[in-house]
Protein backbone atom coordinates (compact mmCIF):
# COMPACT_ATOMS: atom_id res chain seq x y z
CA UNK A 1 0.00 0.00 0.00
CA UNK A 2 2.84 2.41 0.81
CA UNK A 3 4.37 1.75 -2.61
CA UNK A 4 1.00 2.28 -4.23
CA UNK A 5 0.50 5.56 -2.36
CA UNK A 6 3.92 6.73 -3.50
CA UNK A 7 2.96 5.93 -7.07
CA UNK A 8 -0.31 7.79 -6.66
CA UNK A 9 1.45 10.80 -5.08
CA UNK A 10 4.05 10.86 -7.83
CA UNK A 11 1.32 10.69 -10.41
CA UNK A 12 -0.57 13.52 -8.75
CA UNK A 13 2.59 15.66 -8.64
CA UNK A 14 3.36 14.93 -12.25
CA UNK A 15 -0.20 15.81 -13.17
CA UNK A 16 0.04 19.11 -11.31
CA UNK A 17 3.16 20.02 -13.27
CA UNK A 18 1.85 18.85 -16.63
CA UNK A 19 0.13 21.02 -19.24
CA UNK A 20 -3.65 20.99 -19.17
CA UNK A 21 -4.04 18.81 -22.32
CA UNK A 22 -1.92 16.08 -20.71
CA UNK A 23 -4.04 16.18 -17.54
CA UNK A 24 -7.11 15.56 -19.64
CA UNK A 25 -5.71 12.17 -20.65
CA UNK A 26 -6.59 10.77 -17.18
CA UNK A 27 -9.95 9.12 -17.56
CA UNK A 28 -12.79 9.62 -15.12
CA UNK A 29 -12.61 5.98 -13.91
CA UNK A 30 -8.86 6.33 -13.29
CA UNK A 31 -9.37 9.55 -11.36
CA UNK A 32 -12.11 7.96 -9.28
CA UNK A 33 -9.90 4.96 -8.53
CA UNK A 34 -7.00 7.18 -7.41
CA UNK A 35 -9.30 9.23 -5.19
CA UNK A 36 -10.67 6.05 -3.66
CA UNK A 37 -7.19 4.70 -2.91
CA UNK A 38 -6.14 7.95 -1.23
CA UNK A 39 -9.43 8.12 0.69
CA UNK A 40 -9.08 4.58 2.01
CA UNK A 41 -5.44 5.09 2.95
CA UNK A 42 -6.18 8.25 4.93
CA UNK A 43 -8.99 6.51 6.78
CA UNK A 44 -6.65 3.67 7.67
CA UNK A 45 -3.78 6.02 8.60
CA UNK A 46 -5.32 9.30 9.90
CA UNK A 47 -2.02 10.21 11.56
CA UNK A 48 -0.77 11.11 8.08
CA UNK A 49 -3.09 14.13 8.09
CA UNK A 50 -1.69 15.38 11.40
CA UNK A 51 1.84 14.87 10.12
CA UNK A 52 1.05 16.78 6.94
CA UNK A 53 -0.50 19.67 8.89
CA UNK A 54 2.49 19.80 11.23
CA UNK A 55 4.89 19.83 8.30
CA UNK A 56 2.89 22.60 6.63
CA UNK A 57 2.92 24.67 9.82
CA UNK A 58 6.67 24.16 10.20
CA UNK A 59 7.22 25.21 6.61
CA UNK A 60 5.07 28.32 7.07
CA UNK A 61 6.92 29.24 10.28
CA UNK A 62 10.25 28.87 8.51
CA UNK A 63 9.03 31.06 5.65
CA UNK A 64 7.78 33.71 8.09
CA UNK A 65 11.10 33.62 9.95
CA UNK A 66 13.02 34.03 6.69
CA UNK A 67 10.82 36.97 5.69
CA UNK A 68 11.29 38.52 9.11
CA UNK A 69 15.07 38.09 8.95
CA UNK A 70 15.11 39.80 5.56
CA UNK A 71 12.93 42.63 6.89
CA UNK A 72 15.25 43.14 9.87
CA UNK A 73 18.24 43.33 7.54
CA UNK A 74 16.45 45.79 5.25
CA UNK A 75 15.48 48.10 8.13
CA UNK A 76 18.59 47.53 10.24
CA UNK A 77 19.51 51.18 10.77
CA UNK A 78 15.97 52.27 11.67
CA UNK A 79 15.56 49.35 14.04
CA UNK A 80 18.85 49.51 15.90
CA UNK A 81 20.37 52.95 15.30
CA UNK A 82 17.54 55.46 14.90
CA UNK A 83 18.10 58.65 16.87
CA UNK A 84 14.32 59.05 17.22
CA UNK A 85 14.08 56.56 20.08
CA UNK A 86 15.53 56.62 23.57
CA UNK A 87 18.25 54.26 24.77
CA UNK A 88 18.46 52.68 28.20
CA UNK A 89 21.64 51.03 29.41
CA UNK A 90 24.99 51.59 27.73
CA UNK A 91 24.52 53.99 24.77
CA UNK A 92 27.70 52.60 23.20
CA UNK A 93 27.01 48.99 24.12
CA UNK A 94 28.18 46.14 21.92
CA UNK A 95 24.83 44.33 22.08
CA UNK A 96 21.52 46.01 21.19
CA UNK A 97 18.11 44.84 22.36
CA UNK A 98 15.05 46.61 20.96
CA UNK A 99 11.75 46.68 22.86
CA UNK A 100 8.37 47.63 21.40
CA UNK A 101 6.15 48.60 24.33
CA UNK A 102 2.93 50.29 25.40
CA UNK A 103 2.57 52.05 28.75
CA UNK A 104 -0.81 50.36 29.29
CA UNK A 105 0.48 46.89 28.47
CA UNK A 106 0.30 44.58 31.48
CA UNK A 107 2.89 42.23 30.04
CA UNK A 108 5.23 45.19 29.46
CA UNK A 109 4.85 46.07 33.13
CA UNK A 110 5.59 42.45 33.99
CA UNK A 111 8.72 42.57 31.80
CA UNK A 112 10.08 45.77 33.34
CA UNK A 113 12.06 44.03 36.13
CA UNK A 114 13.52 41.67 33.52
CA UNK A 115 14.69 44.57 31.38
CA UNK A 116 16.23 46.29 34.39
CA UNK A 117 17.97 43.07 35.43
CA UNK A 118 19.30 42.56 31.91
CA UNK A 119 20.80 46.06 31.87
CA UNK A 120 22.41 45.44 35.26
CA UNK A 121 23.77 42.02 34.28
CA UNK A 122 25.13 43.17 30.91
CA UNK A 123 27.25 46.35 31.05
CA UNK A 124 27.62 46.23 27.26
CA UNK A 125 23.85 46.18 26.60
CA UNK A 126 21.96 49.07 25.02
CA UNK A 127 18.17 48.83 24.97
CA UNK A 128 16.37 50.83 22.29
CA UNK A 129 12.88 51.81 23.42
CA UNK A 130 10.31 51.81 20.60
CA UNK A 131 7.14 53.62 21.67
CA UNK A 132 4.31 51.49 20.21
CA UNK A 133 1.07 52.85 21.73
CA UNK A 134 -1.57 50.50 20.32
CA UNK A 135 -3.88 49.69 23.22
CA UNK A 136 -5.78 52.91 23.90
CA UNK A 137 -5.92 56.67 23.52
CA UNK A 138 -4.34 56.89 26.95
CA UNK A 139 -1.42 54.85 25.65
CA UNK A 140 -0.92 57.31 22.80
CA UNK A 141 -1.24 60.35 25.06
CA UNK A 142 1.27 58.98 27.57
CA UNK A 143 3.65 58.03 24.77
CA UNK A 144 3.58 61.62 23.48
CA UNK A 145 4.82 62.89 26.83
CA UNK A 146 7.38 60.10 26.94
CA UNK A 147 8.80 61.06 23.55
CA UNK A 148 8.87 64.68 24.69
CA UNK A 149 10.90 63.66 27.74
CA UNK A 150 13.34 61.87 25.43
CA UNK A 151 13.60 64.98 23.25
CA UNK A 152 13.97 67.60 25.99
CA UNK A 153 15.40 65.72 28.96
CA UNK A 154 17.13 62.60 27.55
CA UNK A 155 19.12 61.96 30.72
CA UNK A 156 15.88 61.70 32.69
CA UNK A 157 14.17 59.34 30.26
CA UNK A 158 15.23 56.07 31.96
CA UNK A 159 13.85 57.22 35.32
CA UNK A 160 10.70 58.55 33.71
CA UNK A 161 10.12 55.33 31.78
CA UNK A 162 10.58 53.07 34.80
CA UNK A 163 8.39 55.24 37.00
CA UNK A 164 5.52 55.59 34.50
CA UNK A 165 5.51 51.94 33.45
CA UNK A 166 5.78 50.82 37.05
CA UNK A 167 2.86 52.84 38.39
CA UNK A 168 -0.52 51.22 38.93
CA UNK A 169 -3.54 52.22 36.87
CA UNK A 170 -3.97 53.33 33.30
CA UNK A 171 -1.39 55.57 31.67
CA UNK A 172 -2.61 58.93 30.37
CA UNK A 173 -1.44 62.46 29.74
CA UNK A 174 -2.21 63.36 33.34
CA UNK A 175 -0.31 60.42 34.80
CA UNK A 176 2.68 60.99 32.52
CA UNK A 177 2.81 64.66 33.48
CA UNK A 178 2.50 63.75 37.15
CA UNK A 179 5.54 61.50 36.82
CA UNK A 180 7.43 64.26 35.01
CA UNK A 181 6.52 66.74 37.74
CA UNK A 182 7.72 64.34 40.43
CA UNK A 183 11.06 64.18 38.61
CA UNK A 184 11.30 67.98 38.53
CA UNK A 185 10.79 68.32 34.77
CA UNK A 186 9.18 71.30 33.04
CA UNK A 187 5.68 69.99 32.30
CA UNK A 188 4.65 73.02 30.23
CA UNK A 189 7.63 72.52 27.93
CA UNK A 190 6.82 68.83 27.68
CA UNK A 191 3.22 69.50 26.64
CA UNK A 192 4.41 71.92 23.97
CA UNK A 193 6.97 69.43 22.66
CA UNK A 194 4.45 66.58 22.69
CA UNK A 195 2.26 68.46 20.21
CA UNK A 196 5.00 68.83 17.59
CA UNK A 197 5.00 66.90 14.28
CA UNK A 198 8.28 65.19 15.19
CA UNK A 199 6.43 63.11 17.75
CA UNK A 200 4.05 61.79 15.10
CA UNK A 201 7.03 61.05 12.86
CA UNK A 202 8.52 59.02 15.70
CA UNK A 203 5.37 56.91 15.96
CA UNK A 204 5.16 56.55 12.18
CA UNK A 205 8.71 55.21 12.02
CA UNK A 206 8.00 52.63 14.71
CA UNK A 207 4.74 51.64 12.99
CA UNK A 208 6.59 51.13 9.71
CA UNK A 209 9.05 48.79 11.40
CA UNK A 210 6.30 46.91 13.23
CA UNK A 211 4.32 46.39 10.04
CA UNK A 212 7.38 45.15 8.17
CA UNK A 213 8.21 42.65 10.93
CA UNK A 214 4.63 41.57 11.55
CA UNK A 215 4.63 42.94 15.09
CA UNK A 216 1.10 43.52 16.38
CA UNK A 217 1.47 43.20 20.15
CA UNK A 218 3.60 44.25 23.09
CA UNK A 219 6.08 43.61 24.41
CA UNK A 220 7.99 42.56 21.33
CA UNK A 221 11.75 42.41 21.06
CA UNK A 222 14.29 42.50 18.27
CA UNK A 223 17.84 41.30 18.81
CA UNK A 224 20.37 40.25 16.22
CA UNK A 225 18.46 38.72 13.32
CA UNK A 226 15.38 37.71 15.31
CA UNK A 227 12.06 39.09 16.55
CA UNK A 228 10.70 37.71 19.81
CA UNK A 229 7.09 38.16 20.90
CA UNK A 230 5.76 38.40 24.43
CA UNK A 231 6.98 38.57 28.00
CA UNK A 232 9.48 35.74 27.56
CA UNK A 233 11.44 36.47 30.74
CA UNK A 234 15.00 37.21 31.76
CA UNK A 235 16.56 33.84 30.93
CA UNK A 236 15.28 33.68 27.35
CA UNK A 237 16.50 37.19 26.55
CA UNK A 238 19.80 36.68 28.35
CA UNK A 239 20.45 33.62 26.19
CA UNK A 240 19.92 35.69 23.04
CA UNK A 241 22.14 38.50 24.35
CA UNK A 242 24.96 36.06 25.08
CA UNK A 243 24.66 34.56 21.60
CA UNK A 244 24.74 37.95 19.86
CA UNK A 245 27.75 38.92 21.93
CA UNK A 246 29.48 35.71 20.88
CA UNK A 247 28.70 35.44 17.17
CA UNK A 248 26.45 38.33 16.12
CA UNK A 249 23.30 36.19 15.78
CA UNK A 250 20.79 34.80 18.25
CA UNK A 251 21.90 31.24 17.53
CA UNK A 252 25.56 30.35 17.05
Give the integer Cα–Cα distance in Å for 119 and 143. 22
* CATH architecture for residues 76-247: 3-Layer(aba) Sandwich (3.40)
User: How confident is the model at residue 35, as a pLDDT?
Assistant: 85
User: How confident is the model at residue 1, as a pLDDT?
Assistant: 42
User: How confident is the model at residue 56, as a pLDDT?
Assistant: 86
pTM of the model: 0.77
Mean pLDDT, the chain cut into blocks of 10 residues (252 residues total)? 41 40 58 85 87 87 82 96 97 98 98 98 99 98 99 98 96 98 99 98 97 96 96 98 94 86
User: How confident is the model at residue 23, as a pLDDT?
Assistant: 44
Alpha helices, DSSP H, located in the chain: 2-17, 20-23, 28-44, 47-74, 76-80, 106-121, 137-152, 157-166, 173-182, 187-194, 197-213, 234-247
User: How confident is the model at residue 27, as a pLDDT?
Assistant: 66
Pairing of strands 220-223, 125-131: unpaired
What is the Rg, in whole angstroms, of the alpha carbon atoms belonging to the chain? 26
User: How confident is the model at residue 58, as a pLDDT?
Assistant: 85
188: left (phi over 0), alpha (psi -120 to 50) or beta: alpha
Cβ atoms of residues 204 and 216 within 8 Å: no
> Sheet containing 125-131: which strands, arranged edge to edge?
86-89, 125-131, 95-101, 220-223, 226-229
The SS3 call for residue 131 is strand
Give the integer Cα–Cα distance in Å for 209 and 94. 22
Q: Domain residue spans in the chain?
A: 1-48, 76-247
User: How confident is the model at residue 123, as a pLDDT?
Assistant: 98
Amino acid sequence: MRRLLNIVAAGALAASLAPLPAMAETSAPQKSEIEGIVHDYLLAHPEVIAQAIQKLQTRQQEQEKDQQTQAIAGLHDKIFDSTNQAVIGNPKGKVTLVEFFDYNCGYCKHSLPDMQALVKANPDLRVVMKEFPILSQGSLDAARISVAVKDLFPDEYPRFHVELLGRNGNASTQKALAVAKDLGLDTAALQKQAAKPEVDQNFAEVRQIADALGISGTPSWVIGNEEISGAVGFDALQEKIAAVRSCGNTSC
